[in-house]
Amino acid sequence: MANVAQYRVGLILPLKKTRNGRMQELLMSQDMGIHFIHIDLDVVTSAQNFLDMYGPLDAILHKLAHDMVFEPLGDAAAIRNMQIIRELTSLHPNIPFIDPLESVWVLTDRAAVSRMLESVPGSLFHLPRHAILDSAAAKASIVSQVHAGLFPLPVLAKSLEACGASSFPQSWLSSPFFVTGTDASHVMKRTSLPDLSSSAATVEFNTQVPFPTLAAFETFQAIGRAIQATTGLSLFGFDVIVAAKTNHLVVVDVNYFPSFKEMTDFSAMLRAHVRSVIETHTL
């Protein structure tokens, strides 16, 4: 790789997350001239200390969504970490963050995600019926609608904070779609529970339901590009469900920097994307 420019990229994520195989692969290799350096904010005391410990960086790749969620909730560690990051961006505004903090922030709040998806131009997808329960009155209203059959069951409840819980039950065919950069994408089939009817004597499981066609896959790509254009994000995933009666595509979740564990070529794709960001930024 002697003829390829070498870049040092800070990787901000908790120490425990560096122990999985995917992150180990990134940190132990300098393939394609990209050297990832793990940055543990738990041991950093200031922006200057950050620079003293980790040296000059060409870019910063981060998983700060957790801190971005818990900072306004008063979490001391999150407040300290985000203050260090703000000081760092003030001292060195030319270091590109992947992705920009203001773009990632949108995905930390489900109400903001809903508003963002509603603003995506075109009619490529639908949103699920939803309600934001931010007051006792809002809760009472939705309960009465459920009782009246105006808001049909099942209902899935999630916290407004995107990092508020680690998992939720799911009862549909969900197609996670991953986006890295502007071109790379991957779609993965996830197993699903069938629709259940209270009047059914038996329930038959059919695991041979056809996967979305090439045309649907191309629509997924178009949805990804539309979300990308709206948010400015380059590393994200989104879940799509297919409505049984209408075949409408419904986007039910968007998340920043997911595990990408289904992508066998993730390391190469990420390194190529990081290089592109750095070299475009320095033009």
Q: At a CB cut-off of 8 Å and minimum separation 6, what does 228 contact?
A: 179, 182, 234, 236
pLDDT higher at 188 or 95: 95
pLDDT of residue 205: 46
Higher pLDDT, 2 or 234: 234
CATH number of 7-99+265-281: 3.40.50.11370
**Where exactly are the structural domains of the chain?**
7-99+265-281, 106-256
Range in 102-116, 235-249, 266-280 with the lowest mean pLDDT: 235-249
115 vs 211, which has greater pLDDT? 115
Select the more confidently predicted residue: 21 or 141. 141
Average pLDDT of every residue of the chain: 82
* Stronger pLDDT, 164 or 278, i.e. the higher one: 278
Average pLDDT, integer, range 68-92: 96
Is the separation of the CB atoms in 116 and 230 below 8 Å?
yes
Please report the pLDDT score of residue 161 as a whole number.
Answer: 76
User: What is residue 187's predicted lDDT score, i.e. its pLDDT?
Assistant: 55
Q: In this predicted structure, what is the pLDDT of residue 2?
A: 57
Is the pLDDT at 163 greater than 70? The verdict is no
> What is the CATH T-level fold of the domain 106-256, as seen in this structure?
D-amino Acid Aminotransferase; Chain A, domain 1 (3.30.470)
The pTM for the full model equals 0.81
* 43-58: pLDDT as tens digits: 999 999 999 999 899 9
Confidence of residue 138 (pLDDT cuts 50, 70, 90): confident
**pLDDT over 90 at 105, yes or no:** yes
| Mean pLDDT comparison of 32-36, 142-146, 159-163, 258-262, highest-scoring range | 32-36
pLDDT in tens, 251-276: 988 989 887 777 778 899 899 999 99
pLDDT-derived band of residue 122, with 50, 70 and 90 as boundaries? confident
pLDDT at 67 over 70: yes
pLDDT digits (tens, 9 = 90+) for 173-198: 455 677 877 664 655 555 454 554 55
